[in-house]
Amino acid sequence: MTLSIDFDFRREIQEFNFSLNHCYQCATCSGGCPVAKMTNGRYNPRKIIESAILGLRDKLIVKQEPNVWYCATCQKCVEQCPQRVELTEIFDHVKNICVMEGNYPEAYKLQGKSVFEQGLAVPFNPAILRRRQQLGLPEIQTVPIAEIQDLLIELGFDKIIHRESKKEGIGE
């Protein structure tokens, strides 16, 4: 596989979080990462940091090797890193770039649409509502959806959602 350095990407990510430059590739992060353990090393935070240091944009954003979306944001790596590299902050930036390019998991696309339309990341289905009734739980309060949408529109979130909906034919 040919790897090419994207110098703008490297600069962008270094400027976003300078702690990246302190990494000396000791692998303490991947050694303690529960997701790395569960995936037998297929997911590896050290390698993500390495790709960011080297400016391997294609590998991180397009091919997603390793896949940054596997990170559970448990912060164990951040707590254990001897160089105080802020891994999860860096991963958030990588994820944001993936989202802007439309290259992120389907489940999050649907979740974003649900948040925008219903104010709920996990919408209630009829079975859950029935069960709540059987258990005598109170009716679910509706959220002020117009206020939520105003905020999300202000942030440009609606454009991302609508772009994804058009591309995937979600809800059309």
Residue tagged 């270094």 (tokens): 14
Interatomic CA distance for residues 20 and 29, integer angstroms: 13
If binding is defined by CB under 6 A, does position 90 make contact with ligand SF4?
A: no
If binding is defined by CB under 6 A, does position 40 make contact with ligand SF4?
A: no
Residue tagged 């859950």 (tokens): 128
Among 9, 10, 13, 45, binds ligand SF4 (CB under 6 A): 45
For 7-38, b where at least 16 C-beta lie within 10 A, e where not — what string? eebbeebbebbebbeebeeebbbbebbebbee
If binding is defined by CB under 6 A, does position 64 make contact with ligand SF4?
A: no
Site residues for ligand SF4, 130-159, by CB under 6 A, read none
Provide the minimum distance between the beta carbon of 9 and ligand SF4 in the complex, in angstroms, as a whole number: 18
Interatomic CA distance for residues 100 and 112, integer angstroms: 13
Provide the minimum distance between the beta carbon of 76 and ligand SF4 in the complex, in angstroms, as a whole number: 4
CA-based radius of gyration for the chain: 19
Provide the minimum distance between the beta carbon of 151 and ligand SF4 in the complex, in angstroms, as a whole number: 27
Is 61 or 81 the residue whose CB approaches ligand SF4 more closely? Answer: 81
Is 46 or 113 the residue whose CB approaches ligand SF4 more closely? Answer: 46
If binding is defined by CB under 6 A, does position 24 make contact with ligand SF4?
A: yes
Interatomic CA distance for residues 18 and 66, integer angstroms: 22
**Cβ proximity of 98 and 104 under 8 Å:** yes
If binding is defined by CB under 6 A, does position 23 make contact with ligand SF4?
A: yes
Query: Given the rule CB under 6 A, which residues bind ligand SF4?
Result: 23-29, 33-35, 45-46, 49, 71-77, 81-83, 85, 87-88
